[in-house]
Amino acid sequence: MTVDADQEAAVTAPGAAAPADTRAPAGTAGPAAEAPAARHDLLRLATAGSVDDGKSTLVGRLLYDTKSVLADQLDAVERVSRERGLDAADLALLTDGLRAEREQGITIDVAYRYFSTATRSYVLADTPGHVQYTRNMVTGASTAELALILIDARHGVVEQTRRHLAVTGLLGVRHVAVAVNKMDLVDWSQERYDAIVAEFARHATRFGIEDVVAVPVSALFGDNVVDRSDRAAWYTGPTLLEHLESVPVGTDPSTQPLRLPVQYVIRPRTPEHPDYRGYAGRLASGVVRPGDRVTVLPSGRTTTVEAIDRTRPDGSLEQLDVAFAPQSVTLRLSDDVDVSRGDLIAAADEPGLLTRSIAGTVAVLSDRPLRQRDRVLLRVGTRTTRALVEDVVDQLDIETMEHRTAPDGLPLNAIGRVRIRLAEDVPVDDYRVLRRTGAFLLIDESDGATLAAGMADAPDRAVGEGI
């Protein structure tokens, strides 16, 4: 789920710069798919852990041991560490950038870190561990393919660990890496490690998380983070970085139906392009080629893709033989179809569903509780419409893992199920099948504040039924 689709979408049009391509699906050809093997794989991951689990130190260790820290940054960290009377550099200072974070020794806001190895590039969303900042984890994990969850070996699985697992499972994050940290403080006890991993696996199964890999580490000393430790002879698995290097990334776009939320209608009306009309946005899923039949939702009109355009860095326009998610492109259609921002261009043979009623799970991101009968704005993709919270069905109790009634609504950081009535037909996918077009936001219509992020269940009404 992308918390703000517009932040990710990039207009590609005559005279506009285009973002770099990412991996190409197997079997594609043409300019957009040249030499995909020559590009680094990209893994997006999000960290999560309770307060004092050592998450900032672990992230700092990853940056330091992969030589992703600039010399002046390291000098500043070493200077501050000496001023605090420490014998060695406090690597947590590499990640806790806010003054309040440094003073309190906790992570408050989501921060994005970037590092690379010889074979893979990483975008790491460093999310807070404190319970009051659970909403920030939702933001950080919304685009992640892997969640890195820390556990303090002394304390084991705690309530916040279960909360992070709940968010991870609900957001559809496919892979989980568990760093059982501070193993040096439990004398590298295999028995303690095995007990923690077994309990974590039981909870992960309840949230439908199947791919879990655990690693015993000491972030402070670097054991099993990047370099293998000789203090845990009983552990024969990969180091944390070795696992991050090998975990599968990406989804083959050719296995998913086409979805292009229209961000912008482009009509330059210039001497070079007097009659140009293109529909720009970022491909949320699938592959598209000239000649493909597509359906525009919510109108239901079907037409053919005439051309696919992309702007080169120098401003010149090129036509593509194929485009694939998550590229940003401009489509030209063969018919004069009414298409506006917020519409969805979809595969004609798998156009998805239109609905005026959404049932799904939400995570509350606002101090204002989400209550039954609240009038809100709902955003899915690039489309925003008026909506009514028809029912707050229940709330997930993180302690017991059971759903219970929520008569007073859902407070900040709560996770619960809702039903929402929409003012108009909106194309929505099942979040479990198509993550980007199955995600939605609930927005306060009075001030534009984001109230909740949601994951839609399968819609219950097909295109053409009762429209």
Model confidence pLDDT, tens digit, residues 309-323: 998 888 777 899 999
E strands within 195-263? 211-216, 259-261
Model confidence pLDDT, tens digit, residues 250-296: 778 889 999 999 999 998 877 777 788 999 999 999 999 999 999 99
From 284, 305, 309, 275, select the one nearest 15 (Cα to Cα).
Answer: 309
- Sorting pLDDT into bands at 50, 70 and 90, what band is 8? very low
Classify 43 as helix, strand or coil. Answer: strand
- Sorting pLDDT into bands at 50, 70 and 90, what band is 342? very high
Q: Greatest CA span in the chain, whole angstroms? A: 74
From 37, 35, 53, 55, select the one nearest 45 (Cα to Cα).
Answer: 55
CA pair distance 342, 40, nearest whole angstrom: 33
Model confidence pLDDT, tens digit, residues 102-127: 444 444 456 788 888 888 999 988 87
From 130, 114, 161, 123, select the one nearest 145 (Cα to Cα).
Answer: 123
Question: Which residue has 């028809």 as its token pair?
Answer: 390
272: tokens are 């070079």
Model confidence pLDDT, tens digit, residues 19-33: 334 444 433 333 334
315: tokens are 């401003």
206: tokens are 């309840």
E strands within 134-258? 146-152, 175-181, 211-216
CA pair distance 294, 280, nearest whole angstrom: 15
- Mean predicted lDDT score pLDDT of the chain: 82
Q: How far is C-alpha 65 from the geometric centre of its chain's CA atoms?
A: 26
- Look at residue 220 in the predicted model and tell me its pLDDT: 87
- Look at residue 229 in the predicted model and tell me its pLDDT: 92
Q: Is pLDDT larger for residue 331 or for residue 253? A: 331
83 φ, ψ (degrees, to nearest 5): -65, -25
Q: Give the mean model confidence (pLDDT) for residues 335-349.
A: 94
E strands within 262-374? 264-266, 278-282, 287-288, 293-297, 301-311, 317-319, 323-324, 328-333, 344-347, 353-364
Question: Which residue has 């909870």 as its token pair?
Answer: 203
Residue 139 predicted with pLDDT over 90: no
CA pair distance 172, 245, nearest whole angstrom: 21
CA pair distance 441, 165, nearest whole angstrom: 21
From 278, 331, 268, select the one nearest 305 (Cα to Cα).
Answer: 331
CA pair distance 241, 224, nearest whole angstrom: 8
- Model-level pTM greater than 0.85? no
Quick check: bond before 369 cis, omega within 30? no
- Sorting pLDDT into bands at 50, 70 and 90, what band is 466? very low
Kindly state the helix (H) or strand (E) to which residue 388 belongs, with its residue range: strand 383-397
Cα-based angle 368, 369, 372 (whole degrees, multiple of 5)? 130
- Look at residue 129 in the predicted model and tell me its pLDDT: 57
From 217, 48, 210, 54, select the one nearest 124 (Cα to Cα).
Answer: 48
- Look at residue 56 in the predicted model and tell me its pLDDT: 81
